[in-house]
């Protein structure tokens, strides 16, 4: 059995008690130790000790994923990744992307020469963008140089969803702009689509810091808890890669996504708590993303996407990230809980939250002894959404600013109150 298949089985069949949906046996100490042993010994060390061939390349991709998950970046892992580059140009685009992702995630400056080589040789927009972002992260002064190189190398750069967003990023147009209270109230009171339940997730530009998510009901009022306090939960919209949202496995992209129904998954890293599937433009038929449209194809004109926003927001490139991410082929961005061991990320600003591969994750804590759920932000979020009676709506992700701290509900509360007052008038 191929290692990749074995790991798929591990992910999908880790045990939880179905009769007690708030218990996940895979989170017990013994189960976590076994999972970590398999990932370290089998997925990583055994694979990376062997040769890299066309047959073993998929297992190397799995090893890279496991390294990211567990933050494995010791000398053995570094040496294996370094060795893999000698066969980089003979491998598939899938392997090349996975190699660049693990380098971007774990080795922030050690592969500068290799990434420079990629920018010179590759004709693949995604690989080129990843290499440029790696180099500009090391030396921001290179941004203008790579802006010119991108335009010269790819004559149709503005027509390519990934390169178009790269150009925006290199010119600073994806950073938060100063936004007045009036503009925030416009956003929070905007109808988007009449009768829709809208979920707003406010994030920092630096996704190391958790954001905050609120629910607006179809009547324009925001969900409140049993004490009549404004309801919200923290949401980590950071991918383990910390790549931008328009790239595969990057952060949750800014913009408008469609939510539709509530579901379950058997993925053992997400766990048994119900999940909220989200859909990007192009991921589903146009008439599902934008119900007032008759088109059943998976397409959406940019002007139709922008028409959903308040007029004064439509000239902000950052809010088109979800649009271009969908056009580039991103998919399966959910709002879900987590069973990932937070001890993989002990010294991070988001601890004990755990990052994903692009989803919005809500904190959950499971007993190491029994696997019983001790704390969850996901469950009350889903419960409150169910109470609205809505079956679908929009999920709006926006970055508030670049402060280096979590978004607090106090940051948003005044805007919400003013928006509700505006809607009632």
- Do 162 and 36 belong to one domain? yes
| pLDDT 10s digits, 332-349 | 999 999 999 999 999 999
Instruction: Indicate the helix (H) or strand (E) that contains 260.
Output: strand 255-260
- Residue 336 located in a structural domain: yes
- Do 159 and 247 belong to one domain? no
Asked if residue 162 has pLDDT above 80, the reply is yes
Q: Which structure tokens are listed for 104?
A: 């971007």
Split at pLDDT 50, 70, 90, the class of 13 is very low
- Residue 158 located in a structural domain: yes
- Residue 175 located in a structural domain: no
Question: Which has more confidence, 274 or 17?
Answer: 274
Gap between the Cα atoms of 377 and 101, Å rounded: 29
- Do 190 and 160 belong to one domain? no
- Do 295 and 165 belong to one domain? no
- Do 277 and 345 belong to one domain? yes
Question: ∠ CA(64), CA(209), CA(27), 5° rounding?
Answer: 55
Instruction: Indicate the helix (H) or strand (E) that contains 203.
Output: strand 197-204
User: Could you tell me the end-to-end alpha-carbon distance of the chain, in angstroms, rounded to an integer?
Assistant: 64
> What is the residue-averaged pLDDT of the chain?
94
> 17-27: b or e for each residue (b if 16 or more CB lie within 10 Å)?
eeeeebbbbbb
Asked if residue 173 has pLDDT above 90, the reply is yes
Q: What percent of the chain has pLDDT over 90?
A: 90
Asked if residue 6 has pLDDT above 60, the reply is no
Strand, coil or helix: what is 134?
Answer: helix
- Do 17 and 137 belong to one domain? yes
Strand, coil or helix: what is 98?
Answer: helix
- DSSP class of 18: T
Express the helix, strand and coil content of the chain in percent, nearest 5 each. Answer: 45, 15, 40
- Do 143 and 15 belong to one domain? yes
In the predicted model, what is the mean pLDDT of residues 256-265?
Answer: 96
Q: Which structure tokens are listed for 53?
A: 């061939």
Handedness of CA 319, 323, 328, 333 (dihedral sign): positive
Split at pLDDT 50, 70, 90, the class of 321 is very high
Domain boundary (170, 190, 219) is at: 170
Domain boundary (113, 143, 170) is at: 170
- Residue 251 located in a structural domain: yes
Q: Which structure tokens are listed for 136?
A: 């500009």
Model pLDDT, residue 56: 97
Asked if residue 267 has pLDDT above 60, the reply is yes
- Do 270 and 392 belong to one domain? yes
pTM of the model: 0.94
Q: Which structure tokens are listed for 291?
A: 């119900």
| pLDDT 10s digits, 195-231 | 999 999 999 999 999 999 999 999 999 999 988 999 9
Gap between the Cα atoms of 277 and 335, Å rounded: 7
Pairing relationship of beta strands 211-216 and 197-204 according to DSSP bridges: antiparallel
- Do 88 and 204 belong to one domain? no
In the predicted model, what is the mean pLDDT of residues 178-207?
Answer: 97
Split at pLDDT 50, 70, 90, the class of 15 is very low
- Do 246 and 161 belong to one domain? no
- Residue 56 located in a structural domain: yes
Split at pLDDT 50, 70, 90, the class of 21 is low
Split at pLDDT 50, 70, 90, the class of 292 is confident
- Do 242 and 286 belong to one domain? yes
Asked if residue 152 has pLDDT above 60, the reply is yes
Collect all residues with Cβ–Cβ distance below 8 Å to 317 and sequence separation of at least 6. 168, 173, 174
| pLDDT 10s digits, 366-418 | 999 999 999 999 999 999 999 999 999 999 999 999 999 999 999 899 999 99
Total number of domains in the chain: 2
Write down the number of H helices and E strands in the chain.
Answer: 16, 10
Split at pLDDT 50, 70, 90, the class of 8 is very low
Question: ∠ CA(382), CA(391), CA(11), 5° rounding?
Answer: 50
Peptide bond into 352 cis (omega under 30): yes
* 191 Cα distance to chain centroid: 26
φ, ψ dihedrals at 335, nearest 5°: -110, 115
Domain limits at 16? 3-170
Model pLDDT, residue 198: 99
């Amino acid at each position: 059995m191929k290692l990749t298949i074995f790991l798929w089985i591990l992910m999908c069949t880790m045990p939880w008690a179905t009769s007690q949906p708030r218990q996940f046996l895979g989170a017990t100490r013994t189960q976590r130790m076994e999972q970590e042993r398999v990932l370290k010994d089998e997925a990583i060390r055994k694979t990376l000790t062997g040769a890299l061939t066309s047959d073993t390349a998929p297992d190397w991709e799995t090893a890279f994923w496991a390294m990211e998950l567990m933050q494995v970046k010791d000398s053995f892992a570094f040496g294996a990744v370094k060795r893999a580059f000698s066969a980089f140009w003979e491998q598939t685009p899938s392997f090349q992307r996975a190699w660049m992702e693990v380098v971007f995630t774990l080795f922030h400056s050690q592969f500068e020469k290799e990434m420079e080589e990629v920018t010179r040789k590759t004709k693949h927009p995604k690989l080129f963008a990843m290499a440029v972002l790696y180099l500009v992260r090391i030396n921001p002064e290179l941004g203008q140089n790579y802006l010119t190189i991108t335009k010269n190398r790819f004559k149709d750069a503005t027509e390519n969803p990934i390169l178009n967003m790269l150009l925006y990023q290199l010119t600073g147009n994806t950073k938060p702009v100063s936004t007045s209270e009036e503009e925030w109230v416009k956003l929070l009171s905007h109808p988007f689509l009449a009768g829709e339940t809208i979920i707003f997730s406010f994030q920092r530009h630096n996704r190391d810091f958790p954001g905050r998510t609120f629910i607006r009901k179809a009547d324009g009022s925001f969900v409140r808890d049993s004490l009549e306090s404004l309801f919200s939960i923290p949401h980590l919209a950071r991918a383990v890669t910390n790549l931008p949202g328009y790239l595969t496995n990057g952060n949750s992209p800014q913009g408008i996504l469609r939510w539709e129904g509530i579901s379950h998954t058997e993925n053992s890293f997400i766990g048994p708590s119900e999940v909220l599937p989200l859909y990007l433009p192009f991921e589903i038929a146009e008439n599902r993303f934008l119900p007032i449209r008759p088109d059943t194809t998976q397409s959406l004109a940019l002007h139709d996407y922008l028409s959903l926003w308040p007029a004064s927001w439509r000239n902000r490139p950052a809010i088109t990230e979800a649009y271009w991410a969908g056009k580039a082929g991103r998919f399966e961005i959910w709002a879900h809980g987590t069973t990932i061991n937070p001890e993989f990320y002990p010294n991070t600003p988001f601890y004990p939250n755990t990052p994903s591969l692009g989803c919005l994750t809500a904190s959950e804590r499971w007993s190491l002894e029994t696997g019983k759920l001790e704390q969850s932000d996901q469950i009350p979020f889903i419960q409150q959404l169910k109470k609205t009676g809505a079956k679908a709506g929009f999920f709006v992700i926006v970055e508030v600013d670049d402060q280096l701290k979590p978004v607090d509900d106090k940051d948003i509360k005044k805007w919400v109150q003013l928006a509700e007052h505006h809607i009632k008038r």
